[in-house]
Homo-oligomer: A and B are copies of this chain.
């Protein structure tokens, strides 16, 4: 074996990981959750079943990792200069994704249950995604659209929490008007306006 030609072990490992994750996403999309077994994934990716188990331990971990990886392509990172428009665009895309079978499965597989050693991976997955959305809120603060003491983390949670809770607990649909209404509520507040109709302050005059 030519040492110069051989890819470093890490790179081969990463290439194997990408092939397995891509095969998992393909199988989920074409055959559905039940047909996405470790055996079927290994066959499609051209790797040994034992290699898959060595890396992911369980079928659930594999599918979560594949969906988590895949979801990043489904979400935009809008930067229109208007915090209301940015938040509405990002979270509308999130709501549409969560309403798909892949998005719903991602949420269920991503719940923290203290069951396995990949728990930390699940938690950090959600934290990273929340932080990305927080950047949009921070830009709104910097532009003077939001109060200077706005908590970006809390603001993102107040809009995303209801979406996650609907999918996981109540089963209520994520209708198209839900995200715009949530963004309006969190930006404008439910409190009755005092001096004048607060809505007249809104840049779009709506």
Contact = CB atoms under 8 A, between A and B. Distances in A.
A22 interface: no
Given A146-B191, A147-B190, A192-B145, A162 B169 contact: no
Per DSSP, chain A at the interface is helix
Contacts of A35: none
Interface residues of A, number: 53
A181 interface: yes
Contacts of A168: 111-112, 164, 168
Nearest to A187: B191
A193 to B, nearest CB: 7
A146 B112 contact: no
Interface string A73-112: 0000000000000000000000000000000000110111
Contacts of A146: 190-192
B165 A157 contact: yes
Interface string A168-206: 111100000000011001111111111100100100000
The 10 closest A-B pairs by CB, nearest first: A161-B161, A189-B189, A161-B162, A157-B162, A161-B165, A188-B189, A112-B171, A150-B190, A164-B165, A126-B170
